[in-house]
Amino acid sequence: MPLTRKAYRAAILHSIADPAEEGIEASYEYFADGLLVIENGQISAVGHAGDLLPTLPADIDITHYQDALITPGLIDTHIHLPQTGMVGAYGEQLLDWLNTYTFPCESQFADKAHAEEVADIFIKELLRNGTTTALVFGSVHPQSVNAFFEAAEKLDLRMIAGKVMMDRNAPDYLTDTAESGYQQSKALIERWHGKGRLHYAVTPRFAPTSTPEQLALAGQLLGEYPDLYLQTHISENKQEIEWVKALFPERNGYLDVYDHYKLLGERSVFAHGVHLCDEECARLAETGSAVAFCPTSNLFLGSGLFNLPMAEKHKLNVGLGTDVGGGTSFSLLQTLNEAYKVMQLQGARLSPFKSLYLATLGGARALRLEDKIGTLQPGTEADFLVLDYNATPLLSYRLKQAKDIAETLFVLMTLGDDRTVMQTYAAGQLVHQR
Ligand code: GUN
Ligand code: ZN
């Protein structure tokens, strides 16, 4: 195959370390007039245009953007495909919200055509918002995951998903059994895990909706295949936590339920964790597990304020999650806007570079994919965005007042949304053009 080499010239910014560990200045690289060189779907060089241009053949295809910023593709570490049609459901907190809105909406995925239609809308929405990798909950129906992976495979996206396992405390029309959940998950793993850029995540919904037998089989699956993911929810809502204590009185708290069934580990991502205690953060960190911080959802469902400084103290891996449809936006920029406010309400700050880290390299680390995605380092996959400084009249005017890249970045995260994403590239191919 002939070598395909292309270059993109614009301002370029990416995270290269966690500001909490290395300090803000060492956490990013910024090239005011930068060049990103792509060869066969991978990044081969990034740097100052003035340094790189002389090293390239004179006839190389260069796309030059004015008033634009190239960043890595964004990473959503927690989102629900079958909740696309119920974003913004009024008035309830978690447990009533699940029963009133979520379960009826997810039941529609029994219909394969519906699953395919929503998978298509969902993937378009991810790409419109600049999300190039997501860790995705399907519904209990295997066809929700088949529809998602089929659509993702066509675009060569790096995506992770799994079918919900749920064998109690949910309507009969939406439950599997311990055995069928195990067998259906296994069939999906055999079909999809490791195919192209796709990975499978074992997906018990949360402790209350799985019997001990089902949780044990989820743990067994993790042992049967290499590099499988595990995704579930934890300590999101106070009533939920009391319910888990009542259902598992023999266990020493919510996390201990998952720990007992061997669900913690380097590819395990626990959504929310709003009410985790110090010991639980320490245990999550010790096992290499990660937490998905879902600020729009935690505010919308009245769940509480995630304690990011506590997670940082324990060196716990944290990614950012939209949690659509508990969350109210597919945009990780808007999710960061809310994350900043969640920190403000706790008397803390969220620097724009920490925000960039959470949405890119931090998410990649939470998913153990930092050698492939999350930065623009040479040798990684060419998943990147072109953000438009003139996306709206207000953004355009406001950014003209910005004195440096820190302010520009912060304003992009405060005013930015899907309109800001001019182009999205995955594996070097254009997959969204605004
Ligand atoms: N806990 C169990 N299921 C869900 C869900 O679908 N969304 C949220 N936010 N929390 C959950
Ligand atoms: Zn969720």
Tens of pLDDT along 378-412? 999 999 999 999 999 999 999 999 999 999 999 99
Give which of 69, 89, 137 is closest to 321, Cα–Cα: 137
Give 3's pLDDT tier (boundaries 50, 70, 90). low
Structure tokens at 359: 């949405």
Indicate which atom in ligand 1 lies nearest the CA of residue 83.
6
Q: Which residues pair with 285 in a beta bridge?
A: none
Task: Find the 236 Cα to ligand 1 centroid distance in Å.
Answer: 8
> What does the alpha-carbon distance between residue 389 and residue 397 come to, in Å, rounded to a whole number?
9
* 8 A C-beta contact, residue 358 and residue 293: yes
Q: What percent of the chain has pLDDT over 70?
A: 99
User: Angle formed by the axes of helices 142-154 and 178-192, to 10°?
Assistant: 10
Place of tokens 């990473």: 75
Between helix 212-224 and helix 178-192 the angle, nearest 10°, is 20
Q: Ligand 2 being an ion, which residues bring their Cβ within 5 A of it?
A: 271, 323
Which residue CA neighbors atom 1 of ligand 1 most closely? 233
Q: Exposed, middle or buried: residue 403 (CB in 10 Å: 0-12, 13-18, 19+)?
A: exposed
Structural domain 5-72+375-433, CATH architecture? Roll (2.30)
Task: Specify burial of residue 29 (Cβ count, 10 A radius: 0-12, 13-18, 19+).
Answer: middle
**How far is it, in rounded angstroms, from Cα 370 to Cα 17?**
11
Q: What pLDDT digit, counting tens, does each position of 221-259 carry?
A: 999 999 999 999 999 999 999 999 999 999 999 999 999
pLDDT bin (cut points 50, 70, 90) of residue 2 is low
CATH 3.20.20.140 boundaries in the chain: 74-330
Structure tokens at 383: 């998943």
Contact 320, 299 (CB under 8 A): no
Q: Which CATH architecture has domain 74-330?
A: Alpha-Beta Barrel (3.20)
Task: For residue 276, count CB atoms less than 10 angstroms from its CB and return exposed for 0-12, middle for 13-18, buried for 19 or more.
Answer: buried
Stronger pLDDT, 1 or 119, i.e. the higher one:
119
**CATH 2.30.40.10 placement within the chain:** 5-72+375-433
Task: State which of 76, 77, 96, 102 you would mutate to test the pocket of ligand 1, scoring each by most atoms of that ligand within 8 A of its C-beta.
Answer: 102
Atom of ligand 1 nearest to the CA of 206: 2
Q: What are 276's two structure tokens?
A: 């985790």
Ligand 2 centroid – CA 24 distance (Å): 30
Q: What is the pLDDT of residues 298-354, one digit of tens each?
A: 999 999 999 999 999 999 999 999 999 999 999 999 999 999 999 999 999 999 999
pLDDT in tens, 93-106: 999 999 999 999 99
Query: What is the C-alpha separation between 357 and 294, in angstroms, rounded?
Result: 15
E strand or H helix at 100, and its extent? none
Q: How far is the CA of 413 from the centre of ligand 1 (A)?
A: 26
Instruction: Please give the distance, rounded to the nearest whole angstrom, from the Cα atom of residue 193 to the centre of ligand 1.
Output: 24
Q: Which ligand is nearest to the CA of 299?
A: 1
φ and ψ at residue 263, rounded to 5 degrees? -100, 0
Residue nearest to atom 9 of ligand 1 (CA): 326
3-state DSSP call for residue 303?
coil
Ligand 1, closest atom to CA 303? 9
Mean pLDDT of 264-270: 98
Please state the rounded mean pLDDT for residues 69-80.
99
Query: The tokens 């005011």 sit on which residue?
Result: 32
pLDDT tens by residue, 132-185: 999 999 999 999 999 999 999 999 999 999 999 999 999 999 999 999 999 999
Indicate the pTM of the whole model. Answer: 0.98
Residue 325 three-state SS: coil
Q: Does residue 70 have a pLDDT over 70?
A: yes
Q: How confident is the model at residue 262 (pLDDT cuts 50, 70, 90)?
A: very high
Q: What local confidence, expressed as pLDDT, does residue 4 receive?
A: 85
% of residues, the chain, pLDDT over 90: 99
How far does the centroid of ligand 2 lie from the alpha carbon of residue 249, in Å? 24
pLDDT band at 1 (very low <50, low <70, confident <90, very high): low
One-character DSSP codes across 157-210? --EEEE-EE--SSS-GGG---HHHHHHHHHHHHHHHTTSTTEEEEEEE--GGGS
H helices present in 345-432, as ranges: 352-359, 361-366, 393-400, 405-415
Contact residues of ligand 1, CB 6 A cut-off = 80, 94, 98, 102, 205-206, 233, 236, 297, 323, 326
Name the closest-CA residue to atom 3, ligand 1. 205
Could you tell me the distance, in angstroms and rounded to a whole number, from the CA of residue 330 to the centre of ligand 1?
A: 16
Q: State the amino acid at position 176 in one-letter form.
A: D
Render pLDDT for 113-124 as a digit per residue (tens, 0 to 9). 999 999 999 999
Average pLDDT estimate for 289-298: 98
Give the pLDDT score at 15: 98
CA 261–ligand 1 middle distance (angstroms): 20
Cβ(69)–Cβ(389) under 8 Å? Answer: yes
